[in-house]
Structure 1
């Protein structure tokens, strides 16, 4: 008989506990609804008034609201929804705060500009009054007429028209000079040379002044290879042209040697007619247009015999090196 009342008492306690939890949940839902309404109303209020009322930043307010809403039993969906609403509220509050800051800055800038304009207008007015007072006291000044002096030399002054004319004249002169040089390069000259293989074999050939030494050597090779079979298998790159004891580079032209009046160790490089000696007979102060026949040799012959005369006197042509004296193999000197 004692067990029946105990069972009834346990069921009563369980029912009371369930009823209490239901009431608590209903109370929490009412609190959440009230909080949601407060948030909606707060979104309509400016950030400055909201902060001054609670003394907190937007981030602190959102954190407090999240703490209040998550008290008690809350489902995952309700928690996510609450976080989304609070995040939206935080963005709105931040935008409102930034807008108010921009409006404040714009207002301050406008006030500064107005103050600056008022100061400038006052200073201009005071300066104008001083000018009017000064003009009233003194006598009116007569303007002096400026007249140009026609006798002054103005050629040193910049003149666009004159400069363009000078540029055009220089351009025409340059074109004329190039045309003259092209005509000179086309002129044909006869060159006497000596193929040297230990003894001289003198020949002559005609070529244009604009020909390079390399082109001239190829012409000579073709002329000589019928008589000298060793030149048939030799290219012009393996030949050397020695003029007045100087080895002339193959990229130079006869036109260059003539125009620059180049000089060698034993005679001028700009004449290609032949004389036996360049030593002067009568007047040592006058340079005669006398030169020796240029020698053509194979490169390997020069390498084998460069310690023996006449190859021992040969050296590569250097345009920067000046030869003030002509010397012959015996040491005789022609002073110019």
Structure 2
């Protein structure tokens, strides 16, 4: 009987040594080395369960089996705890802003249409239709003006002149306003017997003390309202005044009869009156 109990006694002693060694190793583990309070509580629960499961006489194989099961259970719980803790941190994390950049070619781009302010002056902006219309209007006005000027040139005018050979011989001739001075002198030549043998280039026409070149037309003086030294060049009727004469403060525009004479006479007498006052007409000069 005593011999049968010896193996159990030896087993008990061996179990006691293992328990003491296990307790000593457990006490040596600090909270800092564990890393968290939850892990320490799990270690204590495994130790308590081991003590509760090995009360009394337990074989070494049973003790090691129970310990292994408890360790395995602790590891399974630890493995479940770690994944569970991670989502909580993710849930607490601040959500990242969603990127609005897209490379989708089929994505529809919404374009905001710019509205026009009806109160803004846009007349200075180029407008082809408006420019074309203005060009047409200008062309119509130009053609209308040309027709009016042609009508003026075709109007007849009675010109009073004086053939001058030292004294005046007044005559009249009808010309068109578009006639040149050279054409006017040809008509004068036909009226004056003394000039019939002369060439028109040998005659000069003096109006308001200005010698008028042959290429000018009466229309040129009429349209520009040209003036000479002693009166208007554009009035050829010596009997009519252009301005009113009942006001002493207004200048009288009495026109003097133009003189027609031979160029040779002028060359002989240009040093005496009235030829000494004559000079060639300059359109740029203000008389």
The answer, yes or no, to whether TM exceeds 0.5 is: yes
Per residue, is there more helix in 1 or in 2?
A: 1
Shift of 1:155: 1.1
In structure 2, the residue matched to 1:137 is 99
Asked if the contact 2:245–2:252 (Cα under 8 Å) also holds between the matched residues in 1, the reply is no
DSSP-derived class of the 2:129 partner: helix
Asked if the contact 1:273–1:290 (Cα under 8 Å) also holds between the matched residues in 2, the reply is no
Shift of 1:146: 2.4
In structure 2, C-alpha distance between the alignment counterparts of 1:191 and 1:142, rounded to whole Å: 81
In 2 relative to 1, CA 176–281 (structure 1 residues): closer, same or farther, beyond 3 Å? closer
RMSD after superposition? 2.6
Unaligned runs of 5+ in 1: 1-134, 324-336
DSSP-derived class of the 1:195 partner: strand
Q: Following superposition of structure 1 onto structure 2, how do residues 284-299 of structure 1 map, counting pairs within 5 Å?
A: 285-299=249-263
In 2 relative to 1, CA 154–189 (structure 1 residues): closer, same or farther, beyond 3 Å? same
In 2 relative to 1, CA 136–270 (structure 1 residues): closer, same or farther, beyond 3 Å? same
Q: Deviations over 1:86-112 (max 9, x none)?
A: xxxxxxxxxxxxxxxxxxxxxxxxxxx
In structure 2, the residue matched to 1:151 is 119
In structure 2, C-alpha distance between the alignment counterparts of 1:239 and 1:153, rounded to whole Å: 62
In structure 2, C-alpha distance between the alignment counterparts of 1:155 and 1:281, rounded to whole Å: 49
In 2 relative to 1, CA 147–253 (structure 1 residues): closer, same or farther, beyond 3 Å? same
In structure 1, C-alpha distance between the alignment counterparts of 2:145 and 2:221, rounded to whole Å: 18
Which of structures 1 and 2 has the bigger CA Rg? 2
In structure 2, C-alpha distance between the alignment counterparts of 1:153 and 1:288, rounded to whole Å: 50
DSSP-derived class of the 1:262 partner: coil
TM-score (structure 1 length as normaliser): 0.51
TM-score (structure 2 length as normaliser): 0.59
In 2 relative to 1, CA 276–259 (structure 1 residues): closer, same or farther, beyond 3 Å? closer
Q: 1:162 aligned to 2:126?
A: no
Give the length in aligned residue pairs: 184
Q: Which has the higher contact order (CA 8 A, sep 6+)?
A: 2
In structure 2, the residue matched to 1:305 is 269
In structure 1, C-alpha distance between the alignment counterparts of 2:232 and 2:246, rounded to whole Å: 18
Q: Following superposition of structure 1 onto structure 2, how do residues 34-113 of structure 1 map, counting pairs within 5 Å?
A: none
Shift of 1:282: 6.2
Unaligned runs of 5+ in 2: 1-96, 103-108
Asked if the contact 1:276–1:292 (Cα under 8 Å) also holds between the matched residues in 2, the reply is no
